[in-house]
Chain A
Amino acid sequence: MTTLDQIRNCLEGVIPAFLATFDSDGTPNVSEISQVHYVDPGRVALSYQFFNKTRRNVLATRMASVIVIDPDTNAQFRLDLDYEETQTSGALFEAMRAKLAGIASHSRMEGVFRLLGSDLYRVSGIEVLPSQRIERVRPCNPLSAARRAAAELCASADMGTLLDRLLGALDRQLGITHSMVLMLDRGAGRLFTVASHGYPTTGIGSEVGVGQGVIGVAAAEGVPIRIGHLAADYSYSAAIRSAAGIVEDSGCPATAIPYPGLEAPLSQIALPLRPLGETTGVLFAESLERNRFGYDDEDALQLVAESLGMRILLAQNDGAEAEAPHVPGCAGSLRMRHYRFDSTVFIGDAYLIKGVAGAILWKLVSEHAATGRTEFTNRELRLDLSLRLPAQSDNLESRLLLLQRRLVERGGCIQIVRSGRGRFRLQVAGKLELEEI
């Protein structure tokens, strides 16, 4: 017997589906529809975009028949559907809305395709239709490749090294050449990049607003978001514009770190990191290939994302000591500027960091300048109310990783390094000259 799980590739929206209904008098109606979305092994959801004849028929009879076609093999199936309900918000709705934006873009129907609801149907029958098929050869099994990639997380290493290893493994094992990890700053409603792979610049510290682009929507809804075509509504130019709005209002010099992502990706996937059921970040991948990520890739990568989320959580109690970076000596004084408004920190005239990570750095360098202190603990940062860390899920480890990586890229004579369980060391090779604005 054919199951819905076996035919998920038909439900990518590459080929339009054909939907038949009839009205209360039994008059048939048939139309093309842009999206049949896989929900679970027994259900699909259809995009509700207009209150048209099809919808009136479904509400009247609660039955439909849909033909779906596999874009790779030309396998064809007829599904008997029984309408259950319509959802107009939430995870399923957002996942379908993102995918529909990609389909609309590909079909040049932007402005026409707008999701009003996700109509849920139980699949009561699947009929295999005879068709001339194309043999499909998959380049790799996503599940076994994901398992090998996730094995990188078992190694004992500091969080930064783990993230870099994982993204490298996604490239080697799954052929994902462009990826990044972003962590959530819940208070600010933004995600910040802590690791990236495959881009000309690392973009460490670049930000995306929650709810913006596939990354922001995945974080907001706590579900994987996937697009198989370039979609203007979900592009990073849009996401970055939104995040940049916050910067423009801050009153300090330009502080946006350039987003490293591809300028015109054709496929994007964002998987939320949800250890213990709460979103803490996003694993993101993109490609110049159309429809690069399918349902199987989504499942496999979500398993990797879940392992990653737990590993980051465990890193807070990890005692691994990182190798101290080489800190070059500096001639003369190190001039640092801090804008109290949003804790933006400049070294010389170059922007370094802002927000909670900026506040942490300023606390460290201020204490160092006053007392010469170099050893600090995570615990004292958590107890310091001036840093405005959230009471729960403070993501302190991620913020320290962000700070550490920005310092490696831009800090020069100032570095921080983990020195043990819940401890880290500030290394300054020069005399600090601090200015508070």
Chain B
Amino acid sequence: MSSVAPSGALTEPDPDCLSAGRALVEEFCQYGASTIIGVVGLDRRPLAGMALACLVLAPDRIRVLLSRPSNAQLLLGLTRDGRIALTVTEVPTHRSVQIKGGEAVLLAAQPDDLRAASRQLRAFRDRLIDADYGEAFSSCCCSFDPTDVVAVEFVPREAFTQTPGPQAGERLRRVS
């Protein structure tokens, strides 16, 4: 498990910070997590969206899987402003990390994407059931239509702790 803590001062992005953020995203998604995104809409208003799954492809590439019908406006917004915020939260602990990036591009989903979405949503569903959300709700909340899935890839630039508390929103730093 990665050991990270928020730094006190806002500084220029650094590789360690990003590396810590990516590690947390991978760890949370592997065991089941809530994955949400924020973008700027075409009308220059903020837009919140829910993602199905998230994959860290490389140090400079994160791939987010979305249901197109639920995120139609959000995808349109990304075609004009490629900046994106991604927050991944572990359900029982509320540990949460936010990655901010840019240059987002919309891509077709691949078979590997669908397998990843199934795996991550199944883990998330189990977490929700463990957290007493009930089997019916948890299953519906984690269901998806494979024909609706699209992918968004972006370049991560900054990572922040988002775990509830006074330090939420501060940059991550690696703890030695």
Contact = CB atoms under 8 A, between A and B. Distances in A.
B37 interface: yes
A113 interface: yes
B40 interface: yes
B169 A32 contact: no
A409 interface: no
Contacts of B40: 22, 26, 28
A22 B41 CA distance: 11
Nearest to A30: B38
Give the size range of A's interface with the partner: 35 or more
A80 B45 contact: yes
Interface in B75-126: 81, 83-87, 89, 94, 96, 98, 100
Contacts of B69: 130
Contacts of A113: 164
Contacts of B50: 18, 67, 76
B7 interface: no
Contacts of B81: 26
A32 B70 contact: no
Nearest to A66: B48
A71 B94 contact: no
Contact of A20 (B39, B44, B137): B39
B48 A65 contact: yes
Contact of B46 (A20, A34, A107): A20
A127 B70 CA distance: 10
A80 B38 CA distance: 13
A78 B168 contact: no
A241 interface: no
Give the size range of B's interface with the partner: 35 or more
Contacts of B34: 16, 32
Contact of B73 (A66, A74, A127): A127
B165 A18 contact: no
B47 interface: yes
A54 B140 contact: no
Nearest to A61: B46
A27 B83 CA distance: 7
A132 interface: yes
B136 interface: yes
Interface string A97-113: 00000000001010011
B2 interface: no
Nearest to B134: A71
Given A28-B84, A31-B96, A52-B166, 16 more contacts: A19-B48, A22-B40, A28-B40, A28-B83, A29-B38, A29-B98, A30-B38, A31-B87, A31-B169, A32-B34, A32-B164, A50-B165, A65-B48, A72-B137, A113-B164, A132-B143
